[in-house]
């Protein structure tokens, strides 16, 4: 199969790229499950954009830089916030139905770290609404083909450039190649590297691992964002309780009813996420309780049901009526701030390979992503990448500015033992996820990080050996990618000898000014 543009992933980033590239050539969108299955589809809170009368792109810029704890690339953030309002209108023109306060006015919610109400939302299912809108638009384009249940295994490299992808048809087990003039990685993040995550099962970091194996530069992988509030229930898979709940006045309490957030930050429940997640972690360690509670029972019950229908219904399934009782919550891995290094046009360091959305590092999020900037980042940089790929594809690839922090390149050589056919990929996956949760979580120590690396390296080598010996499968491919991402995160965490934003290390509790402009780079020789 040969296309002009091959897009890996059918979330907001992949679809936005595809819609912008389609007028210029044939586009194939590959997706490993059904087309709507993505992180995008589950996004709750909304999209941040400075469209309010009391707001400006300068204020949005300022809030993003503050949340990013000094590590954002200012130029990238400026591109993000200046383009936000226009792209919200693009979505509305495509048919997205966002909540309104009147026919002419879009309702604006509030989330942590924002100094203004600027979250455009569709109740608490904003991602579903965006995914729905973009898929309908893609269906109308004769140049776009969506290929479902096709899992990309690795990038095909020829003469140092990316020319396509090796693919597994997950329904038949067939293997084949798809080639293209340009390849766009829009495969999302790697939340599944952790045992507790808000992410759906597709988030196994495939794009990051594939790009790393192809020799692309990877940046800032130590900055894994833990969302402070996911539902705590022994029978519930991780389910997000949107930050918008705190934006509407939700209060975090201990089991004894004590409101603890003002002890940690004057912004209390609306402090940036790294601060709230760490505060909850500290309270859980102090009290020995398994969870804290998010209380919105003081709000009008009808308002709650209307504003948060998904959260209300889901909690009700677990016998929690959020209008009557506080919601038990714990932090969980939520967002990958780092990823495949790109310039402001979505170009990676590998010729003809682009990346955008959660898989990419653009410099926008720094050490901690501001709430609801992720969907916006995907929109803004996917559009720019499409403009570049369709007009200036043959330009030489960019090189990142040298940084004073470089992490060790994970070396994954296949272990000598040959795997047998009964190899248990699920055991390996679980081991990686448990290890990352325990040793590379919200609060880190150098010793725990080193222990994680020592255990991950032989595990990754064993997985690599088994992967090369056995016929590829979804499970083997994902285990291999999770192992690679786990090592990328751990090695990056070991390289950053300071605490900043989401990366908090007890051995280095201070933020060091000299590292403020230094992303952590993992660059192949
Ligand atoms: P995704 O939407 O994750 O799409 C990735 C696509 O790649 C999928 O189609 C997947 O199947 C495909 N794929 C992956 N690997 C392969 C492979 N090997 N081969 C083929 N296809 C592959 N952000 C906000 O800004 N606001 C919010 O309110 C918000 N709420 C969130 C709520 C939840 C529960 C979660 C999990 C995240 C939330 N986020 C939010 C983050 C945001 O949703 C994601 O960062 C964003 O949707 C990522 O979009 P994407 O297009 O990069 O990737
Ligand atoms: C949420 O609704 O809390 C998620 C928002 C985000 O991840 O930006």
**Per residue in 305-362, pLDDT tens?**
999 999 999 999 999 999 999 999 999 999 999 999 999 999 999 999 999 999 999 9
Class of 231-332 per CATH? alpha beta
pLDDT at 419: 67
Round to whole Å and give the CA distance between 382 and 388. 10
Other CB atoms within 10 Å distance of the CB of residue 75:
11
What is the whole-number distance in angstroms between the Cα of residue 439 and the centre of ligand 2? 25
Which residue has a Cα nearest atom 47 of ligand 1?
A: 40
Phi, psi torsion values for 430, nearest 5 degrees: -65, -40
Which listed ligand is nearest to 242 at the C-alpha?
Answer: 2
Q: Quick check: 47 and 11 in contact, CB under 8 A?
A: no
Query: Which residues form the pocket of ligand 2, taking CB atoms under 6 Å from any ligand atom?
Result: 44-45, 242-244, 371-372, 374
The dihedral region occupied by 53, where left means phi > 0, alpha psi between -120 and 50, and beta the remainder, is alpha
The topology under which CATH files domain 406-522 is Methane Monooxygenase Hydroxylase; Chain G, domain 1 (1.20.58)
Residue 257 has pLDDT above 90, yes or no: yes
- The mean pLDDT value for 468-483 works out to 95
Please choose, from the candidates 130, 178, 200, 129, the residue with its C-alpha nearest in 3D space to the C-alpha of residue 7. 178
Q: What is the DSSP letter of 189?
A: -
CA distance 67 to 113: 6
Domain boundaries, the chain: 231-332, 406-522
- 264-281, pLDDT tens digit by residue? 999 999 998 899 999 999
Looking at ligand 2, which residue's alpha carbon is closest to its atom 8? 372
Cα gap 348→212, rounded to integer Å:
11
Q: What tens digit of pLDDT does each residue of 1-20 get? A: 899 999 999 999 999 999 99
Cβ(202) to ligand 1 under 6 A? yes
Question: Quick check: 197 pLDDT over 70?
Answer: yes
Q: Is 34 in contact with 10 (CB distance < 8 Å)?
A: no
Cα distances (Å, whole numbers) of residue 384 to 110, 112, 199, 350, 490: 28, 28, 26, 17, 31
Catalytic residue positions, numbered: 273
For the residues 28-51, what does the mean pLDDT come to? 96
Please name the residue ranges forming H helices in 141-242. Answer: 206-213
Buried b (16+ CB within 10 A) or exposed e, 477-507: bbbbbbbbbbbbbbbbbbbbebbbbbbbbee
How high is the pLDDT of residue 418? 67
CB-based contact 179:163 (threshold 8 Å): yes
């Amino acid at each position: 199969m040969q296309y002009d543009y091959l897009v890996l992933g059918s979330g907001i980033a992949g679809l936005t790229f595809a819609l912008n590239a389609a007028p210029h050539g044939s586009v194939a969108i590959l997706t490993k499950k059904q087309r709507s299955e993505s992180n995008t589809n589950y996004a709750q809170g909304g999209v941040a954009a400075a469209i309010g009368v009391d707001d400006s792109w300068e204020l949005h810029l300022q809030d993003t830089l503050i949340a990013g704890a000094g590590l954002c690339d200012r130029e990238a953030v400026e591109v993000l916030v200046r383009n936000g309002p226009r792209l919200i209108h693009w979505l509305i023109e495509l048919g997205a139905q966002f909540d309104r306060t009147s026919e002419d006015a879009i309702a604006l919610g509030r989330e942590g770290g924002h100094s203004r109400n600027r979250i455009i939302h569709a109740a608490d299912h904003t991602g579903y609404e965006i995914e729905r809108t973009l898929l309908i638009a893609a269906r109308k384009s004769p140049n776009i083909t969506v290929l479902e249940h096709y899992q990309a295994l690795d990038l095909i490299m020829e003469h140092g450039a990316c020319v396509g992808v090796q693919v597994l048809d997950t329904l038949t087990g067939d293997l084949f190649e798809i080639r293209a003039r340009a390849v766009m990685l829009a495969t999302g993040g790697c939340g599944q590297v952790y045992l507790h995550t808000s992410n759906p099962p597709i988030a196994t970091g495939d794009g990051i691992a594939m790009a790393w194996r192809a020799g692309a530069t990877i940046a800032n992988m130590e900055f894994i964002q833990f969302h402070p509030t996911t539902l705590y229930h022994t029978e519930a898979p991780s389910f997000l309780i949107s930050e918008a709940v705190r934006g509407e006045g939700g209060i975090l309490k201990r089991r004894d009813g004590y409101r603890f957030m003002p002890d940690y930050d004057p912004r209390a429940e609306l402090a940036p996420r790294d601060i709230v997640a760490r505060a909850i972690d500290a309270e859980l360690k102090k009290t020995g309780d398994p969870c804290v509670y998010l209380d919105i029972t003081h709000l009008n019950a009808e308002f709650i049901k209307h504003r948060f229908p998904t959260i209300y219904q889901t909690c009700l399934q677990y016998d929690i009526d959020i209008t009557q009782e506080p919601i038990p919550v714990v932090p969980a891995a939520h967002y990958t701030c780092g990823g495949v290094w790109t310039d402001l046009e979505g170009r990676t360091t590998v010729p003809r390979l682009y990346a955008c959305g959660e898989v990419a590092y653009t410099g926008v999020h720094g050490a901690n992503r501001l709430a609801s900037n992720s969907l916006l980042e995907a929109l803004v940089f996917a559009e720019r990448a499409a403009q570049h790929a369709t007009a200036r594809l043959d330009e030489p690839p960019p090189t990142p500015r040298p940084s004073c922090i470089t992490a060790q390149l994970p070396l994954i050589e296949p272990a000598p033992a040959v795997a047998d056919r009964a190899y248990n990929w699920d055991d390996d996956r679980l081991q990686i996820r448990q290890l990352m949760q325990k040793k590379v979580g919200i609060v880190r120590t150098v010793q725990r990080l080193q222990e994680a690396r020592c255990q991950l390296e032989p595990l990754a080598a064993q997985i690599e050996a088994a992967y090369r010996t056995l016929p590829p499968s979804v499970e083997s491919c994902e285990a291999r990618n999770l192992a690679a991402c786990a090592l990328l995160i751990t090695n990056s965490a070991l390289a950053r000898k300071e605490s900043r934003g989401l990366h908090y290390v007890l051995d280095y509790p201070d933020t060091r000014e000299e590292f403020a402009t230094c992303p952590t780079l993992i660059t192949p020789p």
